[in-house]
């Protein structure tokens, strides 16, 4: 086993290190604190950004998932509250290895720890990562030494119980995980007794049951209010997921999102969902609400780089003031600030997850763009009355997915720049059919 370690490999960085072990070779450089751009600026702490590059091939979902993991890791490791309104950047280069391989991740964690020690940034811990296997299953563990433990969360604080996170690639779930939990859903909790518990709501209630009754967050809201919060989440998460992942920005989906937000806005009478105190219902709501800015940005054709968190100056504040105030209150809770990723980082992650435009789409659209006109002729509709499809069109009942797809394609910025509206196309084709083509049209 040959281990190679070197410090100061990047003369332009404030700290850098190389780590190579058993064919997994990475280099890491850290820069900053520097002035943050407006969209990245956080008033209470530094914004952390990590870019992962591989020696060969394109940037894939595996690199993006590793970036999100390392951002969270560095935010917990560095005393980010000492540098408000600044940005700390990291660059990880995978020379040999794979972004999803536990040994490569362990090498990355060790290189980051060494680079940060060299940088002089104030740290809350020092970290060493090891990779081993249990019954042929790779296991990664980060061992830390600090009076303020890095990887602890709300659960660990409340129950004084240790937990070991194991991350799996959502696009390539390993066989051992599928054998453990055949449905493949995440998250999954495995107790010390070997019991496997799936579904977020079930896991939350199980963990809460371990608390002293006086400290139970479920008792603060009651089973009925917790179920009510779950119902609101069901209404809200469906349009959010359709917009954020499936690129479905049809009017019906966007209207459903707005209606769900308006309905939820009327619920808040006090600071939290069910009263003046934080409850389990709030912990159920926040992760889903945390995607709201991103979904609205996609619906309104806002570029990912310009997605920012809600504040009182946001145009949506006029419609949902109580909802946005609630989100700001939740995001300022200390344990939330420790584990939460900023909206800008979440936006970049979801952008990498979204299905990409292909050449097939560019082949389809020009032909589909004549569909309304052809149907109008077939149904003896006058040219002046030809209009573009929407969810109220009679044909939507027969071809909802096709029409949603056409609407999504037509809203792409580059398509909007070069495409003529159906009404103009209809007038042109009518002039062609009459035998007197109008070159102006």
Three-class SS state of 53: strand
Is the separation of the CB atoms in 109 and 74 below 8 Å?
no
What pTM, to 2 d.p., does this model score? 0.50
- Residues 27-75: pLDDT tens digits? 999 998 999 888 778 888 889 999 999 877 777 778 888 888 898 889 8
Q: How confident is the model at residue 213 (pLDDT cuts 50, 70, 90)?
A: confident
Query: In 3D, which of 84, 85, 62, 87 has the Cα closest to residue 74?
Result: 87
- Residue 51, strand partner residues: 91
Query: In 3D, which of 184, 189, 199, 198 has the Cα closest to residue 166?
Result: 189
For residues 10-21, average pLDDT = 93
Three-class SS state of 336: helix
For residues 66-92, average pLDDT = 89
Q: In what order do the strands lie in the sheet with 15-21?
A: 3-7, 15-21, 24-35, 86-96, 47-54
Supply the pLDDT for residue 355. 62
Residue 417 parent element (H or E): helix 413-418
Annotate 118-164 with DSSP letters as a single string: HHT--BS-EEEEEEEEETTEEEEEEEEE-SS-TT--HHHHHH-----
Q: What percent of the chain has pLDDT over 70?
A: 90
d(CA 393, CA 398) in angstroms, rounded, equals 10
Q: Residue for token digits 């309304």? A: 372
Alpha carbon 111 to chain centroid distance? 26
Q: Residue for token digits 């129950």? A: 159
Is the separation of the CB atoms in 128 and 113 below 8 Å?
yes
Q: How confident is the model at residue 87 (pLDDT cuts 50, 70, 90)?
A: very high
Residue 352 parent element (H or E): helix 343-353
Supply the pLDDT for residue 126. 84
- Residue 140, strand partner residues: 131
Residue 47 parent element (H or E): strand 47-54
- Residues 354-388: pLDDT tens digits? 666 777 888 898 899 899 989 988 998 888 888 89
List of domains in the chain:
3-119 (3.30.230.70), 139-353 (1.20.1050.130), 359-434 (no CATH)
Residues in CB range of 360: below 8 A, 6 or more apart:
none
Residue 21 has pLDDT above 60, yes or no: yes
Annotate 60-91 with DSSP letters as a single string: -HHHHHHHHHHHHHHHHHBTGGGSTTEEEEEE
Query: In 3D, which of 15, 166, 158 has the Cα closest to residue 91?
Result: 15
For residues 241-270, average pLDDT = 88
Q: What is the mean pLDDT of the chain?
A: 83
d(CA 20, CA 26) in angstroms, rounded, equals 6
Q: Is 118 left (phi over 0), alpha (psi -120 to 50) or beta?
A: alpha
């Amino acid at each position: 086993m040959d281990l190679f370690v070197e410090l100061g490999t990047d003369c332009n960085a404030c700290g850098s290190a190389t780590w190579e072990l058993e064919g997994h070779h990475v280099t890491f450089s850290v820069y900053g604190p520097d002035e943050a751009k407006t969209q990245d600026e956080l008033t209470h702490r530094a914004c952390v950004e990590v870019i992962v590059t591989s020696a060969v091939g394109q940037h894939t979902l595996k690199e993006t998932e590793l970036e999100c993991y390392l951002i969270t890791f560095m935010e917990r490791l560095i005393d980010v509250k000492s540098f408000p309104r600044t940005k700390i950047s990291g660059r990880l280069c995978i020379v040999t290895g794979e972004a999803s391989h536990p040994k490569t991740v362990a090498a990355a964690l060790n290189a980051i720890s060494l680079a940060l020690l060299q940088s002089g940034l104030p740290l809350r811990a020092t970290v060493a990562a090891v990779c081993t296997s249990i019954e042929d299953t790779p296991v990664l563990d980060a061992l830390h030494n600090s009076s303020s433990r890095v990887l602890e969360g709300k659960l660990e604080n409340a129950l004084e119980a240790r937990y070991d996170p194991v991350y799996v690639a959502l696009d390539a779930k390993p066989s051992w995980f599928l054998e453990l939990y055949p449905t493949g859903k995440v998250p999954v909790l495995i107790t010390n007794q070997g019991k496997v518990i799936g579904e977020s709501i079930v896991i939350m209630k199980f963990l809460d049951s371990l608390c002293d009754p006086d400290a139970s967050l479920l008792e603060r809201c009651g089973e009925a209010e917790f179920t009510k919060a779950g119902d609101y989440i069901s209404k809200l998460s469906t349009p959010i997921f359709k917009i954020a992942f499936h690129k479905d920005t049809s009017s019906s989906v966007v209207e459903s999102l707005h209606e769900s937000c308006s309905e939820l806005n009327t619920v808040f009478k006090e600071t939290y969902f069910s009263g003046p105190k934080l409850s389990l219902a709030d912990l159920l709501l926040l992760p889903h609400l945390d995607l709201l800015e991103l979904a609205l940005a996609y619906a309104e054709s806002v570029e990912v780089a310009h997605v920012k968190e809600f504040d009182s100056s946001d145009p949506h504040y006029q419609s949902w003031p109580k909802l946005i105030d609630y989100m700001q209150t939740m995001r300022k809770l200390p344990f939330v600030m420790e584990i939460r990723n900023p909206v800008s980082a979440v936006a970049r992650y979801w952008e990498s997850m979204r299905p990409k435009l292909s050449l097939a789409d560019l082949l389809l659209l020009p032909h589909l763009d004549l569909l309304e006109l052809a149907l109008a002729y077939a149904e003896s509709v006058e040219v002046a009355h030809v209009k573009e499809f929407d969810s109220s069109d009679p044909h939507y009942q027969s071809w909802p997915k096709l029409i949603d797809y056409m609407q999504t394609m037509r809203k792409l910025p580059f398509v909007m720049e070069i495409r003529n509206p159906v009404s103009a196309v209809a007038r042109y084709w009518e002039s062609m059919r009459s035998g007197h083509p109008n070159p102006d049209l």
